[in-house]
Structure 1
Amino acid sequence: MRVLLVGFSGLLMGLATAPFSKFYFAWVSLVPLWTFIISEKTKYISHRDIKSEKSRLKSKTKISERILGAIAWGFSYHGFSLFWITSLHPVTWIGISWISSLIITISCWLLVTCWGIILVLVWSFLMLWYNINYIQKINCKKTKKKSLKDTEVLTSSLTQSFRRIVFGVAIWCLLEMIWNQSPLWWTSLSYTQSPDNLAILQLTKLSGHSTVTALIIAINGLISESILVIDKNKKQFLFLISLSVIIISSSHLYGLFLYNHRVLDFNDKKIKIGIIQGNIPNTIKLNHEGKIRALKNYSNGYEILANKKVDLIITPEVALPFNIQYILRNSLLHKKVIEHRVPIILGALGGKKAGYTNSLFTIVENGKILSRFDKVKLVPLGEYIPLENILGKLVYSLSPLENHLIVGENKQIFDTSVGQAIIGICYESAFSEYFRYQTSLGGEYIITASNNAHFTQIMSAQHHSQDVIRAIETDRWMAKATNTGYSAIINPNGDSLWISKMNTYDIHKGVIYARNTLTLYVKMGDWLTITLNLIAITPLLKDFLVAIKV
């Protein structure tokens, strides 16, 4: 029954994500899992029981209820949050059979869900290990000193509760940092607060998304630890609950202060930006009809925006599904660029010796390419095959697609006629370090380009929530162009000053500003996670050194 409750709380965490945006659920949704892991058997334990508990934990023949609880929570949260992946089915329009499409879609969803479950499992196991092997070791020493009987229940001290909380926060943030370096990442706890809780998101300027993740874990930990002592130590219960209220209140108030005291933009360079949302359905995007419509929609949209005297026009990811050289030689759009002399950032395919890239190109007044940016974070299975030597035969047996994209270089600078841009193409919006690095190299504003036509509105809403966090933590204006929505203009506070409708052909003229401010996060990276982990491991390191001397 408790496993079901833990699983349900994971579902509540999923409901905190966009477009449901019940962000307040995130501040309590980890409590059932925390209290389940640090249960009566592991928190209040006798000296004799410690040994048997360790033996039970090491048993390879039985899965503990706590691990099942972690799996249930992870599946509920990550599975629900990422269920939009299944809307990819059917993809019969690219020549895949209906049943193959179903198998591929479900497999992709299960793969990314399991990757999230592993994070929760590792965190839960380390929390359980820490509580049994370190916290209870302290209790054993106290028991011997006080000559208590083995059958007497030991009371957890406030210090031990704080140690568990710091350890839990540090490990979760560390795991998110590691997962953020992997090819698969989307569901940081921080994105449960976006785009609606802009006050707390201002704190990402301090140490990136981990600042919000740390606060969410800390509040859940304080509430959990207070529940665990409610019947045994009323003073400690009231102290922990009061502390959680103080921290969450002060964090939001400080975030609100930052939100209301942002540096004004009148000293920054004004850029009149044009955005084209082509609205080419994926079912026709690669056939003759889709290509003709794309050429027409983007050529007409360019001309309309050029006549409105914008400084720069942006298009979505692979707006024109052609090789860039073909576009420069044959397209009407290229001729209109030369005619109207307004630069455009165009999504197209870039050629390389080993294949092609998913790229953005800045085409300037004379019709030549000023800069190129190749997508770095490719979508596994969608744009390349991970572990191709192992999975290649299986994927090729299900899909007729033979080509896959080439990964772009990490250190790319994208210059435009109106300053250096920070670029994110589609899936890259989930990777905060990727944007931080470009900002540190001198990026003045953010341009993101996406397709989004593969999936439902839920995915587009979550994608927008990722972009909101990237704009806030780098303190940059953002203009985003998507194929089917949501295209938007976002200011450094995370406000969406304009957002398109879904599945419509849209043309918009707006204003963004080029900035050169540097947030603490841009300067120092995710220093909070490193600091928390140093604090968490210090007692463990001390014990280890003592053990070596002995």
Structure 2
Amino acid sequence: MNAKVKSKKEKGKGDNSFLTFAFYLLLSLISGVLMGLTVAPVGAWFLAWIALAPLWIIVVQKSNSYLEAKKQKPFLLPFTFYLLPLFWGVGYHSVALFWITGIHPMDWLGVPWWPSLAITVFCWGFISFWGGLFVTIWGAVMARLNQSKPWLRVLIGTALWCGLESLWSSGSLWWSSLAYTQSPHNLVILHLGQLSGPNTVTAAIASINGLIAESYLSSAFSAPRQFVNKYLTLATGLFITLHLLGFYLYSQPIAQPPEAALKIGIIQGNIPNKIKVKPEGYRRAITGYTNGYLNLTKQGVNAVLTPEGALPIFERNFGDTPLISAVQQKGVVIWVGAFGEKGRSYTNSLFTVNSLGEVTSRYDKSKLVPLGEFIPFEEILGKLISRLSPLDEHQVHGAANQTFDTPFGRAIVGICYESAFPEIFRRQAAVGGQFILSSSNDAHYSAAMPFQHHAQDIMRAIETDRWSARATNTGYSAFVDPHGRTLWISGYNIYEIHAETIYRRQTQTLYVRWGDWLTPLLLGLGVVGWFVGKAF
């Protein structure tokens, strides 16, 4: 009889344990999804300041409970524990990057419907898992800190998150930093990026979430429970202080000397990708960009910017086009998105064509889209996944240390996907880039993607303290000032031209001069704190 009762109790305990874990798993997923809602199309940016806290609490509590129940060391935690941060990361990235599903159907590349769907699901699943993997690593390290002092968990948890974002962004697959959850709505906090880049904003979000989480955790061990304690007070004070600092930077006047003025026109060609590389698409491109150029010259522009791949031809064929003939006739500089040659391969490039119709400088896209423009481990995967490029040759990376000189001074160039990599813009600003030219083609995605893309460009303008002109194929084209304010933004899926005056600048923010100095500082303090915590 006693054995039967004991068996029922153990079964009930097991059922309860399973339900508890399922609840934690669901809570992790939901909080990750909430973080994903901070960006377009929802744009609930304020959720970023609380959406990481549930995961923080769960990681600390569950690692404690596992250790107490199994008497295990943190690095021997069961597999199920690591599902908690994984689900949070998958929830965040799958929602934030859902726009990737817009590549389906890829009939414009000759890919049949079902293989197109399979490739799309694979891409979405892979980037979601990839983002989840980085959060899982963070959770695994935080599990080792479960018995540490709260201040040490906040310090190391913040430093680790920044360090992992730096590591991920040094590769080819990167987009969804915590910092970009604040763009374009919270321009004040984004100005912290002028100090040490986007990781400054990431550190602010992670640390405040951590303090909120530690407030809850400390209240769990107090009697009576008091959620409003020193950690929540510190979180509130830090939130206000960081926004005041950002507001101070945001409030600085922007010099606009007449001699630094540059009137730039952009052309949004609106050529669907389905026809872009076909004769019909080429004819529309030549007509649209030539007419747009001529109309902008009548408005007195100094130069014209076109989108990524505006002319789906190689540079050697420029001379045969009416557009270059118009440049020779009107004498106004144009920046043309087209293809360059590099040995037997090709590059996705932006060219400066001067008033004589001569190409005087060229920038080759250095960060290519994995699967879309190149295949990682191609010798292994190349036979399994069809290359998605519109041309037959291999597309190759541009050099990492390029400069782009124009008749108006050195420019900072980013082509499409490169907008997500702040170091590209920082390095060009550090060597004399005076304004930003962003050229992109987001034609095959929903409107959420180009709006997120615009949000990335806003961050780059603020971090480098530069004016930015952005030309896209189908939207959103825009002009942005050094405070991240959008002066003009285009419509979506329409042909449009627009001219705006920007100003060349030679200022250098702390971030431009020193790069991301905050992350190694936080990591160093975390290491020191770890040894101090063990000693005392």
The change in CA–CA distance for 1:517 and 1:267 in structure 2 (over 3 A counts) is farther
Equivalent in the alignment of 1:32: 54
Shift of 1:396: 3.5
The structural deviation recorded for 1:40 is 6.5
Letter in 1 for 2:262: I
Could you report, residue by residue, the CA deviation over 1:424-471 in whole angstroms, capped at 9, with x for unpaired residues?
Answer: 000000000111000001000000000110211010011001000000
Q: Is the 8 A contact 1:268 1:515 kept in 2?
A: no
- 2:115: which partner in 1? 100
* Counterpart for residue 160 of structure 2: 171
Q: Does 2:225 align with 1:224?
A: no
Mapped to 1, the partners of 2:356 and 2:63 lie a distance apart of: 73
CA drift of 1:50 comes to: 8.8
Q: Please state if 1:494 is matched with 2:484.
A: yes
Contact 1:74 1:117 in 2 (8 A): yes
SS at 1:39 equivalent = helix
Greater Cα shift, 34-43 or 384-393: 34-43
Does residue 341 of structure 1 match 2:331?
A: yes
The worse-fitting range, judged by mean Cα deviation, of 240-249 and 163-172 is: 240-249
1:88 aligns with 2:107: no
Find the counterpart in structure 1 of residue 76 from structure 2: 58
1: CA distance between counterparts of 2:226 and 2:102? 51
User: Which of 295, 310, 314 is matched with 2:286 structurally?
Assistant: 295
Deviation (angstroms), 1:403: 2.9
Query: Compared with structure 1, are the counterparts of its residues 543 and 300 closer, same or farther at alpha carbon in structure 2 (3 Å cutoff)?
Result: same
State the Cα distance separating 1:93 from its structure 2 match: 2.0
Give the Å deviation of 1:237.
4.7
Distance (Å, rounded) in 2 between the aligned partners of 1:265 and 1:174: 37
Which residue of the other structure, out of 306, 312, 315, is the alignment partner of 1:315? 306
Write the distance in 2 (CA, Å) between the matches of 1:215 and 1:314: 36
Asked if the contact 1:415–1:421 (Cα under 8 Å) also holds between the matched residues in 2, the reply is: yes
The answer to whether 1:69 aligns with 2:84 is yes
CA distance 1:309–1:399, change in 2 (3 Å): closer
Change in CA separation of 1:235 and 1:299 when aligned onto 2, cut-off 3 Å: same
Equivalent residue, structure 1, for 2:4: none
Where 2:146 maps in the other structure, the secondary structure is helix
2:230 to 233, 239, 249: 239
Match of 1:123 in 2: 138
CA distance in 2, matches of 1:347, 1:261: 34
Identity of aligned residues (%): 46
Q: 1:146 maps to which residue?
A: none
CA shift for structure 1 position 510: 0.5
Q: Post-superposition shift, 1:262?
A: 3.1
3-state SS, counterpart of residue 346 of structure 1: strand
* Residues 397/530 of structure 1: CA separation in 2 closer, same or farther (3 Å cut): closer
Q: Secondary structure at the match of 1:357?
A: strand
Contact 2:353/2:360 (8 A) holds in 1: yes
- Which one of 190, 194, 198 corresponds to residue 187 of structure 2? 198
The range that moved more, 477-486 or 351-360, is: 351-360
Evaluate the alpha carbon distance shift between residue 428 and residue 131 of structure 1 in structure 2; reply closer, same or farther with a 3 A threshold. same
Q: Is the 8 A contact 2:196 2:516 kept in 1?
A: yes
Q: Distance in 1 between matches of 2:434 and 2:390?
A: 42
> What whole-Å deviation, never above 9, does each CA across 1:216-248 have from its counterpart, x for those lacking one?
000100000000111434679511111111111
- C-alpha separation between the residues in 2 aligned to 1:343 and 1:399? 29
Q: Distance in 1 between matches of 2:62 and 2:414?
A: 47
Q: CA deviation at 1:63?
A: 1.8
Task: Confirm or deny that 1:375 pairs with 2:393.
Answer: no
Mapped pair 1:436 → 2:458: no
Q: Which runs of 5+ in 2 are unaligned?
A: 1-22
Change (3 A) 1:44 1:69: closer
Cα shift readout 1:78-106 (whole Å, capped 9, x = no counterpart): 01111110111001122111111111111
Aligned-pair distance for 1:401?
6.9
State yes or no: 1:514 paired with 2:536.
no
Matches within 5 A, 1:388-403: 388-396=378-386, 402-403=392-393
Contact 2:373/2:389, CA 8 A, preserved across alignment = no
Aligned residue among 125, 130, 136 for 1:110: 125
Amino acid in the other structure paired with 1:406: V
Preserved CA contact (<8 Å) 2:59 2:142 = yes
- The corresponding residue for 1:424 is 414
Q: 1:159-211 deviations in whole A, cap 9, x for unaligned?
A: x1110000000000000000010100000000000001001011110010001
Which of 43, 49, 53 is the matching residue for 1:21?
A: 43
Shift of residue 259, structure 1, vs aligned partner: 1.2
TM-score, with structure 2 as normaliser = 0.92
Q: Which amino acid aligns with 2:351?
A: F
291-300 or 108-117: bigger deviation: 108-117
Offset at 1:269? 0.4
Shift of the alpha carbon at 1:543?
Answer: 8.8
TM-aligned CA deviation for residue 267 of structure 1: 6.7
Corresponding residue number in structure 1 for 2:462: 472
Does structure 1 retain, via aligned residues, the 8 Å contact 2:100–2:124?
yes
Q: Offset of 1:18 from its aligned partner?
A: 2.1
Q: Distance in 1 between matches of 2:253 and 2:418?
A: 26
Q: CA deviation at 1:266?
A: 2.7
Distance of aligned partners of 1:223 and 1:128 in 2 relative to their CA distance in 1, 3 Å threshold: same
CA distance in 2, matches of 1:236, 1:28: 15
Partner in structure 1 of residue 8 of structure 2: none
Corresponding residue pairs, total: 511
Give the drift of 1:397. Answer: 9.1
- Give the match's secondary structure for 1:422: strand
* Contact 2:63/2:143, CA 8 A, preserved across alignment: no
Amino acid at match of 2:38: A
Alpha-carbon distance, 1:398 to partner: 9.5
RMSD: 2.0
Change (3 A) 1:103 1:403: farther
2:371, 2:387 within 8 Å by CA — same for their partners in 1?
Answer: no
CA distance in 1: counterparts of 2:73 and 2:112, whole angstroms: 51
Residue-by-residue CA offset, 1:243-278 (whole Å, 9 max, x unaligned): 111111111122122212233223760000100000
Instruction: Write the deviation string for residues 511-545 of structure 1: whole angstroms up to 9, x where unpaired.
Output: 1110000000001111110100000012445799x
Q: Take 1:524 and 1:177, find their aligned partners in 2: how far apart are those partners?
A: 15
- Tell me if structure 1 keeps the 8 A contact 2:430–2:513: yes
